[in-house]
Amino acid sequence: MRSLSRRQALCELGALFAVPFIRWPERLSDPLAGTIVEYQAGRARGDWSAEEVTKEALRRANWWNGTLHAVDELSQTAVNDAIASDVRARRGALRGPLDGVPVFAKAIYDMNGLPTTASNAEWARLFPEVVHRDAIEVARMRAAGAVVLGKTVADDFAYHGNGTSSRSGQVRNPYDPTGTKTPGGSSAGSAVSVACGIAFAALGTDDGGSNRIPAQFCGIVGMKPTFGLVPRTGVIPTWPYLDTHGPLARHVADAALLLDAIAGPDASDGLALVAPRKRGTLAHLRDDALVHARLGLVEAHVPRAQMSAESLSVFDRAVADLKSAGAVVESYAPPVTRANVRDLFAQAAKERADIKPDPNSPAATANALYRYFLAHGGDPRRDVERGLAAYRAFYDVLPKDWAEMSKLITEPYEEDPAGVSFARSRAAVTAQLVGSFRAAKLDAMIYPTMPFPAPRAVDPWPDIRTTLGYGNWLGLPEVSVPTGLGHDGMPAGNISFMGLPGSDALMLALANAYERTSKRFVAPPTPR
């Protein structure tokens, strides 16, 4: 590393994050234990290099994977990418705050030089070849200088929420000494790798909670951005009208940095937002953002009669933390809730004489799968047919018969009648919420991300309804933040900050202020 004076290093750190630094972030003994700011400060001080930290991250990934089962594939270029970042650092030419930062992506993401296994044994057998492109989000992370360590294990095809892969086995919850509790899913490996300090942040996907479930069960930050904020090209598809990609991280500020790097329009995803974005706008966070913030506590989303005394106590403590930080918290009864959102979508379609809205339309998913293979440059029809049985074992709305399936695959998902009807209902129902939200002069809604902690992986979940699908149907941004551990040392719950479409920066700011005030994150024990 270059030899810099303290003043020079502080100036360089400030320029890197586009904010002034007047004092050093805390010096850490473990560079992977803190925030990205602390990591980059250590690099500027000369405490460590990106090469050294990347090698340690890969050592942990390899050593701990026998216990955690969290890593799908490791990159062969990560160390060289870190060395390249160190060269840029010596020249004073880092690309931004993510330059040299170890990160992961989920197993359904394409990554140049690795196979895309989907964490599914049969898919990995059918498509063992390495791919020669990056998913757009991976490419954007690389463009920001991030060191992509590889890919993490998910539920097969990102379909379930338990962290169970037919290829890699059951991902383990790092807080659970018995090895029986679920880490949540489907972005299980991403959450576990982040919680354990293998990477600072990781990419996940969320159709009905796949980022927020493992965030809560692993005691970290998970985000579902505004629908369409992050284009999804180069990722094995799920449900195009629900699928939302975003970050998992130990800290909100790190999640914000990753989201800022991957967000923004791209014509390859026909459902992505088209408004241009200025880099850096999602990462400007203030520790006092909660002062005078107006937060609506949605009691309809707090099933108090079904929650355990500890779950309730932890959530109520989080609300008290918000008030102590200067927020105004008041009860809010929105016109759209978890209980009525689907009925309102159907009613909106009926009023405009439209067909039934369906976010799980087979035609949309069939076309998305075809377009995924089309970008690989081979024979997409052959590849879809070859992989259909394995894929359809999870996405069972698709036709079994190839003759029937082949009729669907070339119909653009942007024009799918059931999907378009769903999008129209989303706009109409969200407008109802927007009017009420603004009349109440709220900045965000708050409620438990989930009303129960991690069950055993082999057990069914408690029969308590969650709000997870609510956010996906409405396309709203949601940041889930840990609220502390329970008496058993397991993460006891997360609190969600949810806002109107496009308010991602505000949700991150509020969540960051809560995190900085409450200091409820506790790292798991070192895996054995």
Q: Convert the pLDDT of each residue in 376-429 to its tens digit.
A: 999 999 999 999 999 999 999 999 999 999 999 999 999 999 999 999 999 999
Q: Is 318 exposed, middle or buried, given 0-12, 13-18 or 19+ CB atoms closer than 10 A?
A: buried
> Which pLDDT belongs to residue 2?
59
> Are 365 and 239 contacting, i.e. CB atoms less than 8 angstroms apart?
yes
Among residues 119, 165, 193, 210, the one annotated as catalytic is 210
* Boundaries of every domain in the chain: 1-48, 49-271+446-518
What pTM did the predictor assign? 0.97
Among residues 75, 106, 193, 496, the one annotated as catalytic is 106
**Catalytic site residue 49?**
no
**Catalytic site residue 106?**
yes
Q: Where are the alpha helices (DSSP H) in 18-94?
A: 36-45, 50-68, 78-90
Among residues 186, 187, 421, 518, the one annotated as catalytic is 186
Per-residue confidence in pLDDT tens, the chain, 528 aa: 455 677 777 777 888 887 777 677 878 899 999 999 999 999 999 999 999 999 999 999 999 999 999 999 999 999 999 999 999 999 999 999 999 999 999 999 999 999 999 999 999 999 999 999 999 999 999 999 999 999 999 999 999 999 999 999 999 999 999 999 999 999 999 999 999 999 999 999 999 999 999 999 999 999 999 999 999 999 999 999 999 999 999 999 999 999 999 999 999 999 999 999 999 999 989 999 999 999 999 999 999 999 999 999 999 999 999 999 999 999 999 999 999 999 999 999 999 999 999 999 999 999 999 999 999 999 999 999 999 999 999 999 999 999 999 999 999 999 999 999 999 999 999 999 999 999 999 999 999 999 999 999 999 999 999 999 999 999 999 999 999 999 999 999 999 999 999 999 999 999 999 999 999 999 999 998
CA distance 270 to 248: 25
Mind spelling out the 3-state secondary structure of 73-126? EECCCHHHHHHHHHHHHHCCCCCCCCCCCEEEEECCECCCCCCCCCCCHHHHHH
**Pick among 3.90.1300.10, 3.40.190.10, 3.40.630.10, 3.40.50.620: CATH of 49-271+446-518:** 3.90.1300.10
> Which pLDDT belongs to residue 84?
98
**Nearest residue to 270 via CA among 199, 367, 345, 387:** 367
> Which pLDDT belongs to residue 284?
87
CA distance 333 to 259: 30
Which residues 6+ apart lie within 8 Å of 205 measured at CB? 106, 108, 158, 186, 187, 211, 232, 235, 238, 243, 244, 245, 246
Give the count of beta carbons closer than 10 Å to the beta carbon of residue 224. Answer: 32
Kind and range of the H or E run holding 413: none
